[in-house]
Amino acid sequence: MLAFQVPNPQRLWLKDARSLTYCLKKRFSSKHVALLCLQHQWDMPTKEESEVLGISIRRLCLIREVLFYYMHEEKMIPLTFGRSIIPKTTMVGKNRPLLNWGENSLGVFLFRDPTLTRTQLQPMKLTPQEPLYHRALLHSSEHPPFLWGRRSIFQVRRKPLLVLEFFLPGFFTPPAH
């Protein structure tokens, strides 16, 4: 999933280490961007996710999937799909609010924390052969040959969580204002 050449303008977005929530609200106007929580439940990570996090595939994690979308003329335009894998051992102390984070952006929690560290962003290419591709495009009318995305591990109070973010077709073709 990681061996490929990334074209422009996708390359710029895949390398931007700022909060994606912040970037979305700046690019599309904060009053029109919203988050829809698609999944927030305890489950096992995928084999690849457990390897990236350095944990057992049997380790229980909070799996959270969200869709950021833009409202344009009463039409929902999906922008990004996010998947967070938060090991149960990360949900202690001041990280416990993540247990019930609901319709809030994870970036709001993460980027306000002074202990936050983040690994380098890794570009990803998601294809229709992968189940996550179909979940990411569940609310989209367009189904391109692949989706560009990125992943990184955040450490909050020395506790890891993995965040995957995929840019949907609506992100690169914003509606005229």
Q: What is the pLDDT of residues 17-43, one digit of tens each?
A: 888 888 888 888 767 888 999 999 999
Predicted confidence band of residue 177 (pLDDT cuts 50, 70, 90): low
Global pTM reads 0.89
* Domain map (residue ranges) of the chain: 10-169
Q: How do residues 41-90 score in pLDDT, each as one tens digit?
A: 999 999 999 999 999 999 999 999 999 998 888 888 999 999 999 999 99
Task: Pick the more confident residue, 176 or 101.
Answer: 101
CATH architecture of the domain formed by 10-169: 3-Layer(aba) Sandwich (3.40)
In order, the DSSP letters of the chain are ---SPPPTTHHHHHH--S-HHHHHHHHHTTTTEEEEEEEEEEEPPPHHHHHHHTS-TTS-EEEEEEEEEEEETTEEEEEEEEEEEEEGGGSSGGGGGGGG-TTS-HHHHHTT-TT-EEPPPEEEEE-TTSHHHHHHTTT-S---S-EEEEEEEEEETTEEEEEEEEE-HHHHSPPP-
Rounded Cα distance, 23 and 80, in Å: 11
Longest dimension (CA), the chain: 47
